[in-house]
Amino acid sequence: MEATFLKRAFGIGEGWEYRSTKYVGGGVEVHVKAKREGIRCPKCEADHIALRGTRERRIRTVPIGFKPVTIVAHVPRCQCRQCGEFFDSSPLLPREGDPTLIALNDLLQVSAGS
Ligand SMILES: [Zn+2]
């Protein structure tokens, strides 16, 4: 799976990078990471941003067969160098039941079957 996969699957590929797919405890985790480019302070709109670690956001999708699928989004915790504001850089993610997640499942089923 490559970058185009994310774009097709999420429809919102901008802002996210595909990292890896892991098979854990009978389920599937798709790891994605927010890109650093284009992060701006929500308060003063400066783009001088320091990273202060990451947080994980887990989004459950509909299962493939009996396998639960979770998208694990690694969201950077940021601090603005200009005004000191702390914020999470989180590009838009699909929600549960979103058609883009169903598309993601279709893609995973295709790759799991080959
Ligand atoms: Zn700021």
For ligand 1, the distance from its centroid to the CA atom of residue 75, given in whole angstroms, is: 18
Global confidence as pTM:
0.63
For ligand 1, the distance from its centroid to the CA atom of residue 95, given in whole angstroms, is: 28
Token readout for 78 is 């940021």
Q: Count the alpha carbons within 13 Å of 39 in the hemisphere toward its beta carbon.
A: 22
For 98, the 3-state DSSP assignment is coil
User: How many C-beta neighbours within 10 Å does residue 44 have?
Assistant: 12
- Residues 6 or more apart from 94 whose CB is under 8 A from it? 10, 11, 12, 59, 71, 100, 101, 104
- What's the CA gap between 73 and 97, in Å, rounded? 17
User: Which residues hold their Cβ within 5 A of ligand 1, which is an ion?
Assistant: 41, 43-44, 46, 80, 82-83, 85
* pLDDT tens sequence across 44-89: 999 999 999 988 988 877 676 777 888 888 888 999 999 999 998 7
